[in-house]
Chains A and B, each alone.
Chain A
Amino acid sequence: MNVNLPGKNAEDASFDELRFDDASFEDFFKKHFLSLCAFCQFKFGLDLDMAKEVVHTGFIKLWDARKNLAPGLSPKSYLYKIITNNVLDSLKHGKIREQYAQFVLQTLPENAPTNSFDDLSVKQLQTEINAAIAELPEQMRRVFELSRFEGLKYSEIAEQLNISVKTVETQMSRALAKLREKLSAHLSYLIIALILSDLFKN
């Protein structure tokens, strides 16, 4: 059953569509899954598996809630909202590495803005990140990739590349500093007034 109410937004399927029509839900899922993962990775520093899990959980909630939600509401905003709440929740309950969580929590405003990636910008972002990494000097790039994407320890990287652990550490931190410069365009809008002092008082 496909309910087509007048006034639906073609760009952003409304609940009216998703409510009864599984095919619309499928399209919606496929359209936003990637962006939502990217959002979780970027916004909350989740690793890919964790991001996927969080996004799946979000979609399951949406699936269950889809028949009972106010008409006209944007499911996309709803999804970003529930995912953000979920992540904050699991951060608070220590499901994610504690030390990390503390920082992340403190550096997020209570109501995290639900600004989102669309698919286009995720692909674009991937391309730019790729390019930035590719521009690093060879050894630095390999150190960075092994650490960031393969999750190897400094000692493992040192062994694999036949360099000292100290060199790995230097290269790694320089890589990050360089990437910060190259990707600064994407970072600027994220800089928000933060009150870190509270965190460190106790």
Chain B
Amino acid sequence: MESNSQINELLTRFLINDLNEGEYARLVSWINASEENQRYFLQIRDTWQLTAVQLTAQVNEEEEWRLFQNTIAVRDSDVVYIRDEEERVNTLIEEQERTGKAIIYRRLLHLVVAAAVIILVGLGWTYFLNGDQQPAVATKPLQEVDGIIPIIQHETNTTGKEKSIMLSDGSMVVLFGNSELTYEKHFINRHIKLKGKAFFKVAKDPGRPFTVESDGIAITALGTAFTVNANGFAKQKQVIVKLYEGKVVVKPITANNPMKNEVYLLPGQELVYDSKTTSVRTFETGSKNTDVKKEEDEPVVDNPTLPVNTKGSWHMYNNQALSQVLDHLAVTYGVSIVYNEKDVQQKYFVGQFKTTDSIEMILTLVTKATKLKYTREGNTFIVHQ
């Protein structure tokens, strides 16, 4: 007869699926020997299976629910995209790079990939006075390399036409007439001073905030995408900073500033600043973004409109830069979405989603339509080639 400990060892190795045939036969004959043995076997087996319940502590219902929705949505969405059509898609993309516009429709959601050169993030400024020579923002010390004297670059646009300037960090500025920019040529600290009016296309770099300083305040983009508009051409100096997505901080940088504290804006909020008062209020993200003027001279076909109806039951992307779409999704779903700028550049997206759609499902569709992939790590989604 087998000893108890031998049997226990056989049983245990049976449970971890590690028995050879001879051992298996021995175990079976032992189990068959008596009802008591059978009962013991079942108890050990059930103990083994019971301990597995411990692992359910790892299960996150929220996550599983999103996965479920994703599965259902992807299954039901009748996706016919890309692999079979790759050739055609490539041709279309080439074509649209030549003509500036072409559209690929997905059957159901009308997703569109469009490639064109468009301002990713518009920072619209109108006329400011006395914007120069402000003290540096205290929280942003210069990060010069020892011994290197920064070369200060002045860009003045005295022509009536807009002028495009590429900064060394990949950001682009469209400087309007009668306006002036001052910045360090190497642009390591991403700090720029503005007089007048300019559009900024900010290259994403979470480690280095991008700050625009003008007229006594500094506006800093913190990581994700944002849009700032200044109010029209009123006599009164007034800045309206509208934040659609991501986060910006607006700081007073002069003494006796009507603005006393720094203000963090949340998506859907706008800050109105003039020489007397500062107020923060919410605005409708669906409202027209009329201050962002189309740049007719550029090979730009359309201006990305911002997601409308973000408070409603759906949101829509209307040919927006992919980076902007991803940033918006990140904020909307409270997750972080990481991507490489060069993977997303010149990719645009049109599509509409319900706010109840899961982030996985949306990302699946968005990345499919833009020929990218994503991987998930906890609360972070990595979008890649």
Contact = CB atoms under 8 A, between A and B. Distances in A.
A172 B44 CA distance: 12
Given A48-B58, A125-B53, A187 B17 contact: no
Interface stretch (A8-16, A31-39, A78-86): A31-39
A126 B12 contact: no
Contacts of A41: 49, 52-53, 55-56
A48 B55 contact: yes
A87 interface: no
Main secondary structure of the interface of B (DSSP, over half): helix
Interface in A94-136: 97, 99-100, 103, 107, 122, 125-126, 129-130, 133
Interface in B35-87: 38-39, 42-59, 61-62, 64-65, 67-68, 71-72
A41 B45 CA distance: 12
A200 B28 contact: yes
By size class, the interface of chain B is 35 or more
The residue in B39, B61, B67 that gathers the most chain A C-beta atoms within 10 A of its C-beta is: B61
Contact of A149 (B38, B55, B67, B356): B55
Given A170-B5, A170-B9, A180 B44 contact: yes
Nearest first, the 9 closest Cβ-Cβ pairs linking A and B are A173-B8, A41-B52, A30-B61, A173-B12, A180-B47, A45-B49, A173-B9, A48-B55, A38-B53
Contacts, number: 140
A29 B68 contact: yes
Contacts of A169: 9, 12-13
A56 B46 contact: no
A197 B32 contact: yes
B43 A184 contact: yes
Given A60-B71, A173-B8, A176-B11, A183 B356 contact: no
The residue in A38, A59, A99 that gathers the most chain B C-beta atoms within 10 A of its C-beta is: A38
A194 B38 contact: yes
29 contacts: A26-B65, A29-B64, A29-B68, A30-B61, A30-B64, A30-B65, A33-B61, A34-B59, A38-B53, A41-B53, A42-B49, A45-B52, A48-B56, A51-B56, A52-B59, A56-B68, A97-B17, A99-B17, A126-B54, A172-B9, A176-B12, A179-B51, A180-B43, A183-B50, A187-B46, A187-B47, A190-B46, A194-B42, A200-B28
A24 interface: no
Contacts of A177: 8, 44
